[in-house]
Amino acid sequence: MSDFKYHVQWLKSPGYLLAEVPSPVVAELQKSMYELQKSSENDARDSLRGHLEEEWHLPLTKEIKSFTRCLSYEYVNQFGFQPAMGMAEKMHDINNSDFELQRLWVNYQKRYDFNPLHIHSGIFSFVIWVHIPYDLEEERKRYPKTSGNETASFMFQYNTALGGLDTAYINVDKTWEWKIVFFPARLNHGVNPFYTTDNTRISISGNLYVIDNKE
């Protein structure tokens, strides 16, 4: 019995954008990190979930603000907008609103450090990998018999259409340096530890918020 017609309809669920960080943004962020003053005023750990000894606020500079604003509009263009992403909280009119980067920080992750599953404030968040110190294949040898070896991975966790939980892993290796993953701030995400080096994994994260368009 195969002579019947049907069509396939997927249920919508927001994902993430993956992009290369443009060179002007890279140069600007490198300068910000080089000039970073590691003082108590710049310590970002009080408002973050990471089990890391060093997380520092970075200045909200021109290129990164412009780049992430563009990604915000591209995200809405690709995935649409869902009230659960946060817009409905303040009753913003999407047609009379804009997106603004208001928080930016750098993470210095050491061996055994991790970031538990968490969400962010705002409407969109992102992570940029700056430096990956380990060899991913060497990391995977740490637990060779483990099913689904996710050592050193970045992960998203989300509800499926059937009400269950699913996890999407990004296996971050050296090829991910200066790449950005851009996603809804309320999407649960976390970072697994690495084990094979005493060098530091460096990443930059930030949050964007909806603002009223005054133009």
42-95 pLDDT tens trace: 777 777 767 788 888 999 999 999 999 999 999 988 988 776 676 554 545 666
What pLDDT band is residue 28 in, cutting at 50, 70 and 90?
Answer: very high
* Residue 134 maps to a domain: yes
Determine how many CB atoms are found less than 10 A away from the CB of residue 42: 15
* Residue 5 maps to a domain: no
70 phi, psi to nearest 5 deg = -60, -40
* Residue 147 maps to a domain: yes
119-166 pLDDT tens trace: 998 999 999 999 999 999 898 888 877 766 788 999 999 888 888 899
Instruction: Assign 3-state DSSP to the chain and report helix, strand, coil percentages, each to 5.
Output: 25, 35, 40
pLDDT for position 126: 97
Within the chain, residue ranges assigned H as helices are 23-34, 62-79, 136-140
**How many whole angstroms from its chain centre is CA 159?**
18
CATH code at 143? 2.60.120.620
How many domains is the chain built from? 1
* Residue 143 maps to a domain: yes
* Residue 43 maps to a domain: yes
Can you tell me the mean pLDDT for 172-193?
94
* Residue 45 maps to a domain: yes
pLDDT for position 213: 73
Nearest one of 126, 31, 142 to 70, comparing CA atoms: 126
Quickly tell me which residue has 């970072």 as its tokens.
Answer: 191
180 phi, psi to nearest 5 deg = -120, 140
* Residue 37 maps to a domain: yes
pLDDT for position 131: 97
Paired with 33 in beta bridges are none
181: its two tokens: 């993953």
Amino acid at 171: N
* Residue 10 maps to a domain: no
Domain of residue 47: give its range.
17-212
